[in-house]
Structure 1
């Protein structure tokens, strides 16, 4: 019979798997085959719209996104089906990758998971019994407010340059929020959004 520790670790296997993959892709040269690279995507390497989210600029960049994964895992615990979680991840990943490709034509390269995390953190609290209601709406307001602030001249996208190894691509956060918002609206439209 599995111990309590085994069950807790089992509950977070998707988060641990994503974290392990992000660490693996820090190996020099490996991430170059998977990063969002506009020229390579134009040549047919469309997997980069998805795979670029697992590539990072530095260990600090990975750890920052791992903190976001841990927060997401804390909210989810074992109360959300893995199938739904994988579909939501894929939707947000393709929403961010596609958004950057079609609506940010100046962007040549992008790596990181933060855009996807913004979208997922917008949706997941509305699905969890403990967070439905005002906590979910509060988190939504915080995330949307942060992303809107990032789109203004008052936000310095290079403030973390020395910490993570590059500038923050705030448009990825915006497209993540848009993808998450579309997911929520679709759930509400089809009556699939749980109520209090």
Structure 2
């Protein structure tokens, strides 16, 4: 009996995970096609000429297949760990707002061209770490400290040579920092909105 219940819970968890991930992974795969990728790339000059969709879409295409697989795997891990606090609407909302914020703030950096989900992933993990902290889970602090340490290391020492070789491009560590900042800012904005609603609510 108990085995049956456990199997049912496990299958429900797998279904939730697939429901979260499948549409996004399909989109990432399609964005890797050359015709789509050329239309998606974050390109400073083209954005300034009015192709503003690239602020968001640049985050969803990648330099090569290993780059795509690496970021897809990281997104899968994120969804697996935090599937209890995610649903498709929330995940798509997070991806949209963190992508937009990252894309806009990259204009303040020296980067001329950028692709990859890694900046957004840093934002997602920062957002989730703060969410864990709000729910008084110690794992949230560990995750937050881990990500901040990684970002500080990258800003000082740069990305690892193995990662650069794998994706066949310079790692945009600026995007990691900006993405993390975007995830934290989204949490702060949500908190301020919640506090504003509470203060406006008549007793």
Question: What TM-score bracket applies, with the shorter chain setting the length?
Answer: 0.7 to 0.9
Note the residue ranges of structure 2 that are not aligned, 5 or more in a row: 1-7, 196-203
Work out whether 1:107 is the aligned partner of 2:111. Answer: yes
Tell me by how many angstroms 1:151 deviates: 1.1
Structure having the higher Rg: 2
Moved more, 138-147 or 18-27: 18-27
**Aligned residue pairs: how many?**
188
Partner of 1:135: 139
Partner of 1:176: 179
Partner of 1:119: 123
Note the residue ranges of structure 1 that are not aligned, 5 or more in a row: none
Tell me by how many angstroms 1:117 deviates: 0.6
Work out whether 1:145 is the aligned partner of 2:121. Answer: no
Tell me by how many angstroms 1:189 deviates: 3.6
Partner of 1:31: 37
CA contact (8 A) 1:26 1:55 kept: yes
Work out whether 1:12 is the aligned partner of 2:15. Answer: no
C-alpha distance in 1 between matches for 2:56 and 2:119: 12
1:133-179 Cα distance to aligned partner (Å, 9 max, x none): 21011101111111111111x22465423211211100110111111
Moved more, 155-164 or 20-29: 155-164
C-alpha distance in 2 between matches for 1:138 and 1:191: 25
C-alpha distance in 2 between matches for 1:98 and 1:91: 11
C-alpha distance in 1 between matches for 2:118 and 2:180: 11
Partner of 1:60: 66
- Which has the larger helix fraction? 2
Partner of 1:163: 166
TM-score w.r.t. the length of structure 2 is 0.81
Partner secondary structure for residue 57 of structure 1: coil
CA contact (8 A) 1:79 1:128 kept: no
CA contact (8 A) 2:60 2:117 kept: yes
Partner of 2:4: none
TM-score w.r.t. the length of structure 1 is 0.84
1:94-146 Cα distance to aligned partner (Å, 9 max, x none): 11101112x11x322100001001001111244359x7421011101111111
